[in-house]
Amino acid sequence: MNMLNLEGFLSEVSITMILYKNGFATGKKERTKKEIKVSIDELPRRPIPKYTSPRDREKYIKTCEIIIRKSLEYKEYIKFLRDNLDMNKCLILSNIRNGNGKRYRIELHHEPFTLFDIVETVITKRLENGEPIDALKVADEVMDLHYSGMIGFVPLTITMHQLVHNGRIFIPLQYIYHKYDEFFKEYEPYMNSTLIEKIEAKVNLSLHTQDIVSDSLEVEFVYLDVDGFAFPEIPDDWKNAILTSNDTAISNESEEG
């Protein structure tokens, strides 16, 4: 039997080969054992991630995001926030909580930095410092930032979460838990100009408002003009009651002034 001569590996291993009579195990005790030593000179190296385009970079960042979200450390941290910091109710729709029916679910939104922003900044920092950027090491550093309390969160319903991501709702920085400013101080040199401009805009808006701002939470009434149906009118006695109430309120304000 011709034996394959393996070369190009790092260490020595012993391989025990069992040679069967007629090439198959026949159940008989007749068999021959033979030991051969293989010389190993080099082990295969782990590939280093490389980006050939912005799209490749984006895909790699999203791959790191998936690893983080599915990790045991991330799930345990989210559980800690829910159990100990009352992050089970929506910041905007405060009457909606986890457990109020199966249709309700509260998600934790990264704010003012999204998870994508955080991962991208960590990768940039590691590249500039000559550190490895394989996905597991990036995810490990991002989770260290979470457990250090340097990542901000707000609890939201699924719909509110989507509106925030679409830029339809602005949440002032005063509402955000935790020490996200420390992340900014430490990692600002590695943030791109677009991200820094976004944070500066959020700071300026937060200085001028204490309330959550949205063009999606205003109450709007839709009136339908249907042929054959009279448009509803306010009864005269209701009109008189409203006018009297308004006049009294104006009179009281004038006297106080």
Alpha-carbon distance 205 to 198, whole Å? Answer: 11
pLDDT of 256 above 60: no
Q: With CA atoms as reference, report the closest residue to 168 among 176, 160, 179, 177.
A: 160
pLDDT of residue 234: 65
CA distances in angstroms from 153 to 137, 150, 174, listed in the order given: 23, 10, 12
pLDDT of 21 above 90: no
pLDDT of residue 34: 75
Q: With CA atoms as reference, report the closest residue to 180 among 156, 157, 214, 154.
A: 154
What residue spans of 85-192 are helical by DSSP H?
115-128, 135-147, 158-165, 180-187
- One-letter identity of residue 93: L
- Region label for 152, one of left (φ > 0), alpha (ψ between -120 and 50) or beta (otherwise): beta
Confidence band of 124 (pLDDT split at 50, 70, 90): very high
Mean pLDDT value across residues 31-41: 73
* Residue 94: how many other CB atoms lie within 10 Å: 9
Q: With CA atoms as reference, report the closest residue to 119 among 175, 176, 69.
A: 69
Mean pLDDT value across residues 200-223: 81
pLDDT of 153 above 90: yes
Mean pLDDT value across residues 166-189: 93
pLDDT of residue 31: 66
Mean pLDDT value across residues 7-16: 43
Q: With CA atoms as reference, report the closest residue to 113 among 75, 135, 142.
A: 142
What are the φ/ψ torsions at residue 181 (nearest 5 degrees)? -65, -30
pLDDT of residue 211: 84
Give residue limits of the domains in the chain.
1-45, 54-214
CA distances in angstroms from 210 to 178, 194, 204, 231, listed in the order given: 17, 25, 12, 40
Which range has highest mean pLDDT (16-25, 41-50, 95-104, 126-135)?
126-135
Element (H, E) at 17: strand 12-20
Q: 226 or 179: whose pLDDT is higher?
A: 179
Alpha-carbon distance 185 to 174, whole Å? Answer: 17
* pLDDT, tens digit (0-9, with 9 covering 90-100), for 52-63: 788 999 999 999
What are the φ/ψ torsions at residue 234 (nearest 5 degrees)? -80, 130
* pLDDT, tens digit (0-9, with 9 covering 90-100), for 93-122: 888 888 766 677 899 999 999 999 999 999
Q: Which residues pair with 17 in a beta bridge?
A: 34
Mean pLDDT of the chain: 81
pLDDT of residue 35: 78
